[in-house]
Each structure stands twice: as C-alpha cells, then as structure tokens.
Amino acid sequence: MQAKSDAQLLREYAVEKSEPAFEEVVHRHADLVYSAALRQVGSPDLAGEIAQRVFIDLARKARSLAGSLREDASLAGWLHRATRYAALTLLREERRRHARERHAMQEFHSAAETSPDWASVSPLLDEAISALDEQERDALLWRFFKKQDFRAVGAALGVSDDTAQKRVARSLEKLRTSLQRRGVTTTTTALSAALASHAVQAAPAGLASAWITASLASMTAEGGVALTLLKLMSMTKLQLGLGAIVVGGLAATVAVQYQTENEIRGENQALRLQVAALADDNASLSNRLQQVGARSPLADDQLRELLRLRGEVGMLRDKTNLVGNLQKQNRRLSEQMSSLMANLAKLKNDSLEPLDPSSEAAKFVAHRSAIVNAAKIIGTAFRIYSNDNGHFPPSFAEIHNELADETNFSGGIPLDTFEMVNVGKVNDTFPQGAAVVERTPRQSPLGGWERVYLLGDGSVQTAHSPDGNFDAWEQSNYVNVFSTSGQ
C-alpha cells in the first residue's frame, strides 16, 4: 500500500482531527527539524524547544496550510522555513554577534580547497539554504537531509531523475557560492560529501512523542477558554441575587484572573521542572568557563568556545530570573483571587431574589464578555502573524488569514468594534503596551464607563473610568509606549 503524502496526512488532521495522521507527519520530519534547529542554536535543549514550537505552529495552521498544498506535496520545505524563523526569533541578537566574531577570525586563515570544517559550515548552512529559491531548497533537502536517491528526489519534485540530478548540482553550486561570500571556501564535491556525512542528526529518543503531545494539547487548551467563560456567565445569571447586580462585573474579572492564573501556573510548573537541569547546566558551564579562562593565551578555537559559553550562561540566567518573576506574579494573583472570591461569596449570600436574565445589567455583562473573547481571538492572530513575519501586523487586513475569515465574532461583535494603536511600536519589546483598543467606551448601567484593551503580550484588560475619560489610565499603565507615540 502506497504511503500517504504529507499533504494528505495534514488534511486528515485538519478536517477529521486524526491525531495518528499528525503523529506520522512529526515522525517523518522530526530529524530534519531537530537537526536544522541544532545547527543554528548549538544546544540540544534549545533545539528541542524550537522543534516543539515548529510542530505546535504546524498544528495551529493545519487547516489553512492543508488547503494550499498539492495532493502529493511534502512539508519538508515549510518545516525548514518555520524552523529557520523560530531559531532567528530565539537567538537573533546572539547569532549576529557570533557571526561577526566568526567572520573576524576567519579572515586570519586561508581556506583550503578540501572538505570544509563542519564546525565552520554548520552555523551558516541554514541561512545559506534559506537564500535559495523554493525548488532549489526542496531538492537539497530531499537529497541530503532526507537522504533520498535521485529517483526519489525526482518523484517528490515531480521531475525526471536526470532533471533532479541537475537541480541538485545547481543548488549545490549556489550554496557553495553563498558560503564562500560568508568566508567558507570549498568545492561542490567536498560540500556534497560534508552534507552527506553531517547534515542530519537523529533527534533524541522520545522527543517526537513529546512534541506531538504538546502540539495537540495546545489546540485543546485554546478551545476551552470561551467555554469556561460561558459556564461562569450561566452560573451568574441563574444563581446570583438581585441585591448583588455588581456581581456580574466582578464575576467577569474573576474569570479573567482565574484564566490568567491557570496559564501562569502551567508555565511556572513547566519552568520549575527545568530549573534543576538549568542549575546543573549553569554549574557545568561555569566550570568550563573557568577552565577555558585559565589558559593563556587563548587559541582561536578556545576563544570561540569561550564566547559561545558566555552566551549560553546569559540565556540560563534569563530563564532563572523568569522563574522568579513568574513565582511572584503567581503569588500576587493568588492573593487577588482570594479577595475577589471572598467578595463574590459575600454578595451572593446577601442576595434575596434571582437575577433577571433580561435586565440591562445582565445584558451589559454578557456583551462585555463577548468583547473580551473577540479581543483574545485578535490577540492570537497577532501572535501567529508575528511568528511568521517578525513583527506585529500594520492593519487588520494583514491578519485576514489568521482570523480564518472571521469578521464577526461570537455574540455579534464585529471587527470594527476595535481599532489598532501604537502601530510599529508595540511588539515583543513593549509586551505591556496597548496594541488594540475598543473603539468606543461603554457606559455601565451601574454607573461609570468601561473600555477593553488588547496588550502586546496577548492579554486583555478592561479599564474603568467614572466619566468616560481614559487618558489618565492609559498614561499611567503605558507610559513607555504612549510617551513616544508622537515622535
């Protein structure tokens, strides 16, 4: 029986939610993705993290991607590009600094017309492959990274054996020229031998299963947010008393806080599992740094190793600091949840009559929840667009595909309910800056005004004002962004 193509398996997962189909795609390409990530970051742990992000992104985009592929198409090219983007996002600044250092050192050595030093080729290889056009890149990936003969390469690309051989040779020559511009001199024969020997390393046992679980779990988790809010709204309408109309607004706040706390707790738990390993790695790296630093004078290879170790120590320190910040935020949210739940219980106990679902207060709370849900969907589209393009979208029109043609959200909320602010300023550098704001504030039947904000980190906040003026609130919460908006 002929094996199904990548496109057919991805379509089965997107349409029928077939997890075995998605698992087969991951197993087929786990080595390719892991090897590409490992070459770029130089760390098995970081390579595993990048691979997991790539397969999570594949699961999220399965429906739109499956619709654009040929029936017999392969995902090798798409996965290689996605791995490249993920690695650049994670290590952009470090890679630029290391590239300058490598280039400066390589100028002191003359390159020989022999098999290239893989340690010199490996950090530059994926950047050079990304510069090829799609047909050339696919030919190289199938020949050297999937280890197929020319007949299999031709079948995958829809060309004859001879055409496949010529395309691979042409791609090798362009790759050699690109590497030469980056300071690595070799021949196409030597480069071909180096790729055949070193291009693919087997992903560690068990990681493919972990990537599959994390990717499928991420899709399940996203579908549960709206259901949790709807259940809370139903409980509020049926059980709260007339004397506690304010409970509607409080319950929505509780739901947002509860969801945020659960997300942070999940991240906190995952990071705690890594703390012990990070501490061991940190100690090991420190010992290696001392050993390297004790040698004088440093050789070129020792200096490169020292610079790489310093970068890894910096990243380990950042992760350790992130754990501490998450723990503090977790404790603060726990205190806020305790206070909110106490107030909610008090108001519920004071109630005498059931809340009328048709009342203005109940309608206002339901409308607010629908707006918050719509803002969260827009936030998810922003993150997907940012992962693909390296920056936030300049307009809503740019996230048409990410929104899956959804111009009206549940609850009858149209897209023009919102407007984008701080375009080009709010991104990963300003994660707490406002990216999208509710166009028109809403007046509560209990008095005061509300307005929903989508922040750069994907969270949604509801601001309150007694008179409908939110200038003071915006300035106090987003001073770093708003103070530069007029420049």
24 and 152 share one domain: yes
Q: Are residues 331 and 377 in the same domain?
A: no
Please tell me the distance from the alpha carbon of residue 74 to that of residue 8, in angstroms, as a whole number: 9
At 321, the pLDDT band (50, 70, 90 cuts) reads: confident
What Rg value do the Cα atoms of the chain yield, rounded? 27
Q: How confident is the model at residue 289 (pLDDT cuts 50, 70, 90)?
A: low
Per the model's pLDDT, the better-predicted residue between 117 and 162 turns out to be 162
3-state DSSP assignment of residue 131: coil
CA distance 303 to 305: 5
Q: Which residues pair with 463 in a beta bridge?
A: 451
Q: What is residue 439's predicted lDDT score, i.e. its pLDDT?
A: 93
Range of lowest pLDDT (112-121, 379-388, 398-407): 112-121
Q: What are the residues facing 354 on neighbouring strands?
A: 241
pLDDT per residue over 81-138, tens digit each?
999 999 998 877 566 656 655 664 554 344 344 556 777 788 888 888 888 889 888 9
Rounded-to-integer distance, Cα 472 and Cα 469, Å: 8
Instruction: Mention every residue, 6+ apart, whose C-beta is less than 8 A from residue 298.
Output: 292, 306
For residues 192 and 253, state if they share a domain: no
Nearest residue to 46 via CA among 94, 99, 12: 94
Q: What is the pLDDT of residue 181?
A: 87
pLDDT at 205: 66
The more confidently predicted of residues 212 and 288 is 212
256's tokens: 């947002």
Into how many domains does the chain fold? 3
Query: In 3D, which of 437, 400, 397, 404 has the Cα closest to residue 421?
Result: 437
Q: Phi and psi at residue 431, in whole multiples of 5°?
A: -65, -20
The pLDDT, as a whole number, for residue 60 is: 93
| Cis ω for the linkage preceding 297 (within 30 of 0) | yes
In a domain? residue 221: no
Q: Report the SS3 class of residue 419.
A: strand
- pLDDT, tens only, 174-192: 888 988 888 888 888 888 8
- Residue 461 forms beta bridges with which residues? 453
**Residue whose C-alpha is closest to residue 38's, from 198, 190, 193, 188:** 198
| Alpha helix ranges (H) inside 413-478 | 471-477
Q: Is the pLDDT of residue 243 over 50?
A: no
> Which residues make beta-bridge pairs with 442?
450
Indicate whether 230 belongs to any domain: no
Residue 435 main-chain phi, psi, to 5 deg = -105, -35
**Domain-embedded: residue 222:** no
Task: Give the phi and the psi of residue 394 in degrees, each rounded to 5.
Answer: -80, -15
Query: How confident is the model at residue 53, as a pLDDT?
Result: 92
> Same structural domain for residues 257 and 392?
no
Please tell me the least confidently modeled range out of 41-50, 75-84, 186-195: 186-195
What type of residue is 259? Q
pLDDT of residue 359: 84
Single residue among 355, 378, 401 that ends a domain in this structure: 355
Residue 385 has pLDDT above 60, yes or no: yes
Helix (H) or strand (E) holding 82: helix 76-106
Whether residue 145 sits in one domain with residue 52 = yes
Q: What percent of the chain has pLDDT over 90?
A: 18
Which two tokens mark 58? 């594949």
Question: 89 in a domain, yes or no?
Answer: yes
Look at residue 200 and give its three-state secondary structure.
Answer: coil
Q: Are residues 43 and 181 in the same domain?
A: yes
Higher pLDDT, 352 or 7: 7
pLDDT at 82: 94
**Highest-scoring range by mean pLDDT, 109-123, 259-273, 328-342, 400-414:** 400-414
CATH code, domain with 345: 1.10.287
Cα-based angle 223, 229, 231 (whole degrees, multiple of 5)? 100
Q: Are residues 115 and 177 in the same domain?
A: yes
Q: In terms of domains, do 189 and 264 share one?
A: no
In a domain, 486, yes or no: yes
Beta-carbon contacts of 29 under 8 Å, excluding residues fewer than 6 positions away, are 6, 75, 76, 79
Do the domain assignments include residue 231? Answer: no
* Residues sharing a CB contact under 8 Å with residue 253, sequence separation 6 or more, in sequence order: 340, 462
How far apart are the C-alpha atoms of 33 and 55, rounded to whole Å?
Answer: 9
Q: Judge if 289 and 375 occupy the same domain.
A: no
Q: Which of 418, 435, 421, 433 is nearest to 371 (CA)?
A: 418
| Position with higher pLDDT, 343 vs 35 | 35
CA distances from 459 to 51, 384, 431, 455 (A): 25, 15, 9, 6
Most confident range (mean pLDDT) of 110-114, 274-278, 450-454 is 450-454
3-state percent breakdown (helix, strand, coil) of the chain, nearest 5: 70, 5, 25
Q: Is the domain of 327 the same as that of 385?
A: no
Out of 297, 329, 355, a domain closes at: 355
What pLDDT score was predicted for residue 253? 45
Which residue among 207, 232, 254 closes a domain?
207
Tell me the residue range of the domain where 394 lies: 357-487
What is the residue type of 258? Y
Q: What is the pLDDT of residue 39?
A: 93
Give CA 300 to chain center in angstroms: 36
Residue 229 maps to a domain: no
210 in Cβ contact with 51 (< 8 Å) = no
If asked whether residues 368 and 481 sit together in one domain, one would say yes
103 and 173 both lie in a single domain: yes
Q: Tell me what pLDDT residue 244 has.
A: 35
Within-domain flag for 224? no
- pTM of the predicted structure, to 2 decimals: 0.31
Q: Residue 242 — very low, low, confident or very high, per pLDDT cuts 50/70/90?
A: very low
CA dihedral over 177, 183, 189, 191, signed as positive or negative: negative
Residue 167: closest CA among 189, 210, 128, 137: 137
Q: CA nearest 125: which of 29, 40, 33, 30?
A: 40
